[in-house]
Amino acid sequence: MNRKIKSRIEVALIYLFIAFMFVVIAYPLLWTISMSLNPGTSLYSASLIPEKPSLEHYKWLFTSPQSDYLLWYKNSLFVAAINAILSVLFTALIAYAFSRYRFVGRKMGLYLFLVLQMFPSLMAMVALYVLLNMLHLLDSLWGLILIYVGGQIPFNAWLVKGYFDTIPRELDEAARMDGAGHFGVFFRIMLPLAKPILAVVALFNFMAPFTDFLLPSIVLRDPEKYTLAVGLFNFISDRFANNFTRFAAGSILIAAPIAIVFLFLQRYLISGLTAGGTKG
């Protein structure tokens, strides 16, 4: 077969695969948007484009006295923001210690982090419930944050440690010769160069509270403390009030803060890569 024809076939197959994946990803999203614009509460529609599109479900979420959507949104933003900030701080400190220092139990700690990732989170739900009950943090957003931050440390620490290992130690030594201490090296050298990986950690930990349903449904009992995933579930869990269209409208709006944070961190990601390539 001619090399030129073979190359065209390969390119065509690649584009075909990309088109297929686009349909797989885009169709559910378009269907959910269509359902959110469809009047009534029906899950089904005759066509992907509603005959009489309406914003009544979005309006109901924000203006109806029966809707706690704004409260759930506020709770989710609070948990997501605190979770992202604390996760980045604790993960960076732990990863820095494992990357730059040698101490008793270092290898065992790394292996323990690795082993903890092999077990599903469902196995720990009873233990987490008992722990939060002992700490009097059940039905508390801070209890939820504690579990999120602690649960993500093993994976994030491995991720960030691998990135710290790629930063030359000569930079640490040069900073110490200039009089910088341990925290000086950490905050002035390591953190600026680690912006790309820390941006990834922040984004993933910001997204988690918006999409997680299982843990908040176990920890939270007061409807005023619900996160979006738990609150929206009430729209379709009631036998006599299956508001799938309102559920769709509320789900679409979840993407807004995640997209904003992604765009914001993308700038830091690029600047961090640039700084990392020019220093030294």
Residue-wise pLDDT for 185-241, tens only, equals 888 888 888 888 898 899 889 998 998 898 999 899 888 899 999 988 887 776 546
Residue pair 154/116 in contact by the 8 Å Cβ criterion: yes
* Tokens read off for 128: 């987490």
Token pair 């006295």: residue: 65
pLDDT confidence bin for 267, thresholds 50/70/90: confident
Average pLDDT on 167-189 reads 85
What's the pLDDT at 70? 92
pLDDT confidence bin for 274, thresholds 50/70/90: very low
pLDDT confidence bin for 3, thresholds 50/70/90: confident
What's the pLDDT at 113? 85
Enumerate residues 6+ apart whose C-beta is below 8 A from 77: 257
* Interatomic CA distance for residues 67 and 58, integer angstroms: 11
Residue 38 pLDDT exceeds 90: no
Handedness of CA 190, 192, 197, 200 (dihedral sign): positive
Mean pLDDT taken over the chain: 84
For the chain, what percent of residues have pLDDT higher than 90? Answer: 21
pLDDT confidence bin for 2, thresholds 50/70/90: confident
The 10s digit of each residue's pLDDT in 76-108 is: 999 999 999 999 999 999 999 998 888 888 889
pLDDT confidence bin for 64, thresholds 50/70/90: confident
What's the pLDDT at 41? 66
Listed by start position, the domains of the chain span 3-58, 64-278
Average pLDDT on 30-35 reads 85
Average pLDDT on 160-177 reads 86
Average pLDDT on 247-258 reads 88
Residue 7 pLDDT exceeds 70: yes
Residue 120 pLDDT exceeds 80: no
Enumerate residues 6+ apart whose C-beta is below 8 A from 182: none
Q: Per CATH, which fold does 64-278 belong to?
A: MetI-like fold (1.10.3720)
